[in-house]
Amino acid sequence: MTKKPKFQEPAGMHDILPGEQRYFQKVLDTCENIADFYGFQRIETPILEQTELFSKGTGLSTDIVQKQMYNLRTKGGDYLTLRPEFTPGITRAFVEHGMKNLPQPVKFYSFGPLFRYEHSQAGRYRQFHQFNLEVIGEGGPIIDVQIIQIFYNILQELKLKNLIIEINSIGDNQCRPYYKKLLVSYFRSRESALCVDCRRRLKENPLRVLDCKEEKCQRIVSQAPQLIDHLCQECHHHFKGVLELLDEIELPYRLNPYLVRGLDYYTKTVFEIFSQEQKKSEDEKEITVRNALCGGGRYDALVKLLGGEDAKASGGALGIERIIELMREREIKFPRAAGPQVFLAQLGTMAKRKSLKLLEDFRKARILTGESFGKDSLKAQLRTADKMEVKYTLLIGQREALEGTVLIRDMKTGKQETIKLDKAVKEMKKRLKK
């Protein structure tokens, strides 16, 4: 029986091992390339922020603030929180650094770890990663649609199929109060059938009941009044513009009148993007499995709430671990990064010194080069060169080190040639071009 290691990953957190890093890099490269095209600039905010930023920005009634935040108190008595999401921190940075004075709108993207204390399950961790987009300083529907389009393009670029956008409008402070009254009136007569959390939500923020995943609550929600039937004129006009633009660019969307998202700052447009597939259940029945990959919406009041001048905004985020899990599950392949084409083999102390210098020359010439300086056996080094599938192996033994030469071996034909050491880089450039 294998002995359990004394130290292990904290519950709900995970190591990202070298074999997984290429997936993370592929997703990040795809996200960054597309975001760059649309004029987004990278912003990085601290992993720790003041606790009040999230209680005020994300919302006291949200599950994130009530149940999921990692809070700590510093020696100086400050209350800080490991960021559970990006938007409040980026909004704080926008206000703090006077970005209202920049040409509007400003477009940001972020990538990094976030932290939420919740039950660990497939694709859901306590430390996880997101790619985030924010546009601050623009109130038109076209920005909402552009953000949706960018996320959709990223997922398509990563070869994920059967994508569907779910979209809704949750109004603003003009039309939402009346709708909340209708909602409370509807749920009050059915309160005993709701889950414990939803009974609490009914008192604090009835909209959050619509977001419950409990089956018994979903049955009740399915008959509840729909907010899109009670939008004010401005919100109705905005949402109509969003849907028309989605039709124009032919993105596949589905209107979900009960989609609200779990954050208090959202106004007007909210959306989620799913990947769907048909699977067979244990009793051989066809079922639809949905994977939520991305979500976001508009948050027109947050900048002012956090102390800035009035500025409308919209944004969203992709869940990196969920995307990678789906890519692996569906066996999505992508080209491996280019490996070394040259391998340096050496025998003896003097040869190691010469090889070390030669390796640096290859680096400056931007020629990817493999080596195994820790091995003394030529046979073992050549086995490593074979595994790397290099085109050429350069061998420096004691004789070559003394004479200032290097032996070039063509790994395909087995042909060998000795040249001057100081000509090695130039010769390799010429051969690799062919």
Domain assignment of residue 399, yes or no: yes
Same domain, 90 and 170: yes
CATH number of the domain where residue 355 is located: 3.40.50.800
Is 37 within a domain? yes
CB 210 within 8 A of CB 226: no
Contact status, residue 92 vs residue 45, Cβ threshold 8 Å: yes
Q: Which pLDDT score, from 0 to 100, does residue 279 have? A: 73
- The b-or-e profile of 356-369 (16+ CB within 10 A means b, else e) is eebbebbeeeeeeb
Copy the structure tokens of residue 344: 């340096």
* 406 lies in the same domain as 310: no
Residue 148 pLDDT = 98
Q: pTM of the predicted model, to two decimals?
A: 0.88
- Domain count along the chain: 2
- Domain co-membership, 311 together with 352: no
How far apart CA 426 and CA 51 sit, in angstroms, is 58
Between CA 405 and CA 200 the distance in angstroms is 79
**Residue 391 DSSP code:** S
- Residue 224: inside a domain: no
What percentage of the chain's residues is helix, strand, coil (to nearest 5)?
Answer: 40, 25, 35
Binding residues: 85-87, 116, 130, 134, 261, 265-266
Q: How far apart are alpha carbons 195 and 98 in whole angstroms?
A: 44
CATH of the domain at 317: 3.30.930.10
Residues 354 and 322 in one domain: no
**Is 238 part of any domain?**
yes
Q: Of the residues 283, 301, 329, which one is the last residue of a structural domain?
A: 329
Closest of 404, 426, 408, 416 to residue 342, by C-alpha: 408
Looking at the domain assignment, is residue 97 inside a domain?
yes
Is 237 in the same domain as 150? yes
Q: Which residues are annotated as part of the binding site for L-histidine?
A: 85-87, 116, 130, 134, 261, 265-266
| Strand 267-280 versus strand 253-255 pairing type | unpaired
Instruction: Specify whether 281 is located in the same domain as 387.
Output: no
Instruction: Record the tokens describing residue 232, joined without a space.
Output: 């004010």
Final residue before a domain boundary, out of 269, 304, 329: 329
Verify that 319 and 356 share a domain, yes or no: no
Instruction: Tell me the Cα Rg of the chain.
Output: 28
Amino acid at 43: I
Question: Alpha-carbon dihedral of residues 36, 38, 39, 42, nearest 10 degrees?
Answer: -50
If asked whether residues 258 and 399 sit together in one domain, one would say: no
Q: How many C-beta neighbours within 10 Å does residue 417 have? A: 10
Exposure of 406 in the CB half-sphere (CA atoms within 13 A): 27
Cα distance between residue 309 and residue 161, in whole Å: 41
DSSP state of 99: G
Domain for residue 210, yes or no? no
d(CA 329, CA 350): 50
- Which residue range forms the structural domain that includes residue 48? 18-175+231-329
Asked whether the beta carbons of 197 and 191 are under 8 A apart, the reply is no
pLDDT at 281: 67
Residues 159 and 104 in one domain: yes
Q: Return d(Cα 273, Cα 92) in angstroms, integer.
A: 27
268 and 354 co-located in one domain: no
Two structure tokens written together for 258: 């009960």
Residues 87, 125: one domain? yes
Hunting for tokens 């939420």 — which residue is that? Answer: 116
In-domain check, residue 7:
no
Helices vs. strands in the chain: H and E counts, helices first: 15, 16
Instruction: List the pLDDT tens digit at each of the 434 positions of the chain.
Output: 678 888 999 888 999 998 889 899 999 999 999 999 999 999 999 999 999 999 999 888 788 888 899 999 999 999 999 999 999 999 999 999 999 999 999 999 999 999 999 876 666 799 999 999 999 999 999 999 999 999 999 999 999 999 999 999 999 999 988 998 998 899 888 888 889 888 888 888 888 888 888 888 889 988 999 989 999 999 999 999 999 999 999 999 999 999 988 788 999 999 999 998 777 666 667 777 888 999 999 999 999 999 999 999 999 999 999 999 999 988 888 777 778 999 999 999 999 999 999 999 999 999 999 999 888 888 999 999 999 999 999 999 999 999 999 999 999 999 999 999 999 999 999 999 87
If asked whether residues 100 and 125 sit together in one domain, one would say yes
Question: What residues contact residue 41 under an 8 Å CB cut-off, 6+ apart?
Answer: 106, 107, 108, 109
Q: Is residue 6 part of a domain?
A: no
Given the structure tokens 């010439």, which residue do they identify?
Answer: 365
